[in-house]
A and B are shown apart, each in its own frame.
Chain A
Amino acid sequence: MAFRDLIRERFFPHIWCPGCGHGTVLNSLLHVVDKMGLDPTSMCMVSGIGCSARISGYVNFHTMHTMHGRALPCATGIKLAKPQLNMIVPMGDGDAMAIGGNHFIHACRRNIDMTAIVLNNRIYGMTGGQYSPLSGRGVLATTAPYRSIDDDFDAVALAQGAGATFVARTTAFHVKELSKILTKAIQHKGFSVVEVMVQCPTYFGRKNKMGGAVQLLEYYRDNTAPLGSKKLEENQNLIPRGIFVERERPEYCEEYQNVIALAEGKE
């Protein structure tokens, strides 16, 4: 398959800032889809609002750029109407965890077959650098000029607690791991959540004096460690990466087929 058939070249160059991590996720995703040999007409991407949400414009899938926080319920409607589609739902941290938080936990609970990617740059980028539910205590943002007093969600723990059957975390620095995890997430039958820690040099890096894209990527390299690694064992302050949950539970669309069979009196 021609790799070029997976993107919409006419809409490039993309809108992201130089050094933004979103492009790395897009790149990884396209390679994964290409490598897995997925038919692009079987691919559907649904996104919400924010910098990350613009990914849906650039991929040559069936794409729906929806409302802030509403990607998952829109995707749920599509998936229930056309269960054969492979659903990819990229969301920002504010998109997924603040305004879309209720939809997020219920999508996890339903275990509907789709891959949710939380592109966590710990900031609202599109609106110019406000703190998000994943920013965490002590972060500087335009709406936290005296540092944030809000504790953050652990997106992985939240997804796990809400019942997602595949939960993973990686970063834009660990590109090979990212592709491996995305492959497994797409292959997984059920609701998959992949948190990707991505750098926002323009707002998060600058505001918090953490440097540019390179420094932020180095931060992800130095402050994370794989699950089960010695490095993580020795330093509890590191952020764990890897696959946290991978289990089977009845998938929602398949379960609904049973409802149809019951209603039609076939069972």
Chain B
Amino acid sequence: MSATQQDVRFVQGNEACVRGALYAGLRFFAGYPITPSTEIAEHLAENLPKVGGTFVQMEDEIASMCAVCGASLAGSKSMTATSGPGFSLKQEAIGYAAMAEIPCVVVDVQRAGPSTGLATKVAQADVNQARWGTHGEHSIVTLTASTVQDMFAVTVEAFNIAEAYRTPVILLFDEVMGHMRERLVIPPAGELPVTERLRTAVKPGVNYHPYLPREDGRLPMSDYGDIHRYHVTGLYHDIWGFPTEQPEQVNKLVHHLVDKIEGRVHELARWKEFYLEDAENVLISYGSAARSARHLVETRRQKGHRVGLLELQTIWPFPKDLVREKTANAKNVFVVEMNMGQVMAQVKQAVDNPDHVYLVNRVDGTLVTPTDIGNVMRVIEGKGV
């Protein structure tokens, strides 16, 4: 391909995620087949070895997440992909990655649950599981996208955040986004920033403390196999990575795990906004539901209605101040999502007037439509059903 020629493709969201991961430098993927995320594994089985990376299909979802933890500690940018039932199984090792501060990316292409639910149908009901799925106090980053192009971009972002802050990052896509085909323009290398892992500068023969933060709070890593030999554990640990039960050290680590994410809400917030300046009715949405919300906003604007959309790309840590600010002048706020109000609950906590926050949802395995949104808005606006 010549330098002037653009790399343009017509691909599914799942493939865009794969392209984004490769752009970000993914070198290890472990997975297990599950609808509707399987295409991610299939594309990586084909494409990872082409760049000298490793694809492995493990015996189960648990093993894939464990292999990702191991490969990341050995120095490879690592990822796994799944859907609801597999996401439940991965929670154990996601907690391990949170505790041991292992950079990794976990894709959940959501389908309807609980349990096997609707294997091929869309839902967005894993929002709270992404945040609270693993046990114990911790924090986590979760990103979404509503276009195939954005799935590429947020996947690159996910790796950057994972590597910069040594944390698992959840990419919360959904069945519609994963399977929808759209135009994808792959930017030339170097156009989007790619964050490399911070590795220790401690010289051979000098003690390396894997969990001793630098002045800026960051923890430089050392790859397994390099000169420094150190311990990693899922137990509460000291600066050596060795288990400790000292209340002071335990307390310090809990706060560190939470603060390193929650203290960076502004830095981590990604969003898109449409016609918010004078909007009386503000829609808040994400993922495929945001496509319907966008459509409604565009058609109503043509009729002169003052309606706007705030599309959240970062769901966790929840950008509370952003939501409050963007809805400050709104008469009504409509949260459009395909669950029973998981993001709506966060929005209600964020805004000054929670009584004017309404849920527009669909939980039947089909995409929430612009008509669904319009119907709820008409009721709230007193224009009848």
Contact = CB atoms under 8 A, between A and B. Distances in A.
Interface of A: 8, 10-11, 40-42, 44, 46, 56-57, 60-67, 70, 72-82, 84-85, 102-103, 106, 256, 259-260, 262-264
Nearest to B30: A77
Contact of B225 (A11, A65, A84, A260): A84
A81 B70 contact: yes
B233 interface: yes
B78 to A, nearest CB: 7
B333 interface: no
Interface in B76-108: 76, 78, 92-93, 96
Contacts of A264: 49-50, 52
B338 to A, nearest CB: 32
B229 A77 contact: no
Given A77-B78, A78-B73, A85-B225, A56 B67 contact: no
A73 B58 contact: yes
23 contacts: A11-B242, A41-B229, A63-B232, A64-B232, A66-B66, A66-B69, A67-B96, A67-B234, A70-B62, A70-B63, A72-B63, A74-B67, A74-B70, A76-B58, A76-B67, A77-B78, A78-B74, A78-B224, A81-B76, A82-B74, A106-B63, A256-B54, A264-B52
B71 interface: yes
A6 B59 CA distance: 33
A8 B73 CA distance: 20
Interface in B169-222: none
Nearest to A56: B231
Contact of B70 (A40, A64, A262): A64
A57 B75 CA distance: 21
Contacts of A40: 229
A61 B70 contact: no
B230 A70 contact: no
Given A80-B28, A84-B225, A74 B69 contact: yes
A102 B59 contact: yes
> Considering the complex of A and B, which 4 residue pairs feature the smallest CB-CB distances, nearest first?
A77-B70, A77-B67, A263-B49, A73-B63
Contact of A41 (B30, B92, B225): B225
B234 A66 contact: yes
A8 B373 CA distance: 63
A63 B226 contact: no
B298 interface: no
Interface string B6-21: 0000000000000000
Contacts of A259: 49
Interface string B113-130: 000000000000000000
Of A42, A61, A66, most B-chain CB atoms within 10 Å: A66
A139 B147 CA distance: 60
Contacts of A80: 28, 54, 56, 67, 71
A127 B243 CA distance: 17
Nearest to B60: A102
Given A62-B224, A80-B67, A81-B70, A263 B50 contact: yes
A79 B67 CA distance: 9
Contacts of B75: 81-82
